[in-house]
Amino acid sequence: MNNNKPNAHVLIIDDQPEALGSLMALLRAEGMRISIVTEARRALDRTIALWPDLVLLDVHMPDLDGFALCRLLRESPTTRDLPVIFLTAAASAEERLNGLSLGSVDYVTKPFLPEEVLARIRIHLQLVKRNYSAPTLSDAPHDPEQVILNAALRLIGNELASPPSLAEIARRVGTYEKRLSAIFRERMGTSVFAFIREERLHKSQELLTDTAMSMQDIADLVGFSSAANFTTAFRERLGMTPSVFRASARTRHADN
């Protein structure tokens, strides 16, 4: 699809789209096609089905907030390259940074000037390089549980030093605790927190092998309260201290 066409398809995901009436009128006057989703829980499936050119996404919505939805959009192979513009009353610096860190291309706060939003939409429709084509019947079916799992794995990896609670992880990937736990058991063969423990130790092995960081710095990065606690957990899991592991890894590297 050519994103410079005037009939670009814009999907609005907002539980109160009536507040965007002036903007929608302006977009239609530009020849753009508009679709609206008011239920955030249905938005991922609807986005995949509608195949828009760009998404305007609210943050504060019932059941599922826009940040969680954006996280899921970025983990689905079908929608990961879709440009998302947050259009929201969530105006704090922390919220703006959070939205941009999730991979949105822009963040516009309400109240807004419709002409400015239109200008931003035009820019991103021109800039985006869509490297995918419309899904066909031969494509693999959308797997919502894998999308949730991918989002949770990325979230844990990004916040390994201080991982959120199970309830918070579930909320931020658009699900609930029991479902997230079941997905991990079925697809990873382990619990969420057992995975976090293993991921901490795996990351520590990489840092021991590839860096000269101190034990305390590594402990801080992988979420242990002290170098002593890190050493104890490492020895219990791998049968050697981190120092011995590092020396062994350097010996193997020198031999190769």
Residue by residue, pLDDT tens for the chain (256 residues) are 444 455 899 999 999 999 999 999 999 999 999 999 999 999 999 999 999 999 999 999 988 999 999 999 999 988 998 999 999 999 999 999 999 999 999 999 999 999 999 999 999 998 875 544 555 544 556 799 999 999 999 999 999 999 999 999 999 999 999 999 999 999 999 999 999 999 999 999 999 999 999 999 999 999 999 999 999 999 999 999 999 999 998 888 777 6
Contact yes or no for 3/125 (Cβ under 8 A):
yes
CATH number corresponding to 9-127: 3.40.50.2300
> pTM for the complete prediction?
0.85
Residues 12, 222: Cα–Cα separation, whole Å: 39
What was the pLDDT predicted at 127?
Answer: 82
pLDDT digits (tens, 9 = 90+) for 176-218: 999 999 999 999 999 999 999 999 999 999 999 999 999 999 9
CATH architecture of 194-255: Orthogonal Bundle (1.10)
d(CA 106, CA 137): 32
pLDDT digits (tens, 9 = 90+) for 25-39: 999 999 999 999 999
Q: Where are the domains of the chain?
A: 9-127, 144-189, 194-255
SS (H, E, C) the chain: CCCCCCCCEEEEECCCHHHHHHHHHHHHHCCCEEEEECCHHHHHHHHHHHCCCEEEECCCCCCCCHHHHHHHHHHCCCCCCCCEEEEECCCCHHHHHHHHHCCCCEEEECCCCHHHHHHHHHHHHHHCCCCCCCCCCCCCCCCHHHHHHHHHHHHHHHCCCCCCCHHHHHHHCCCCHHHHHHHHHHHHCCCHHHHHHHHHHHHHHHHHHHCCCCHHHHHHHHCCCCHHHHHHHHHHHHCCCHHHHHHHHHHHHHHC
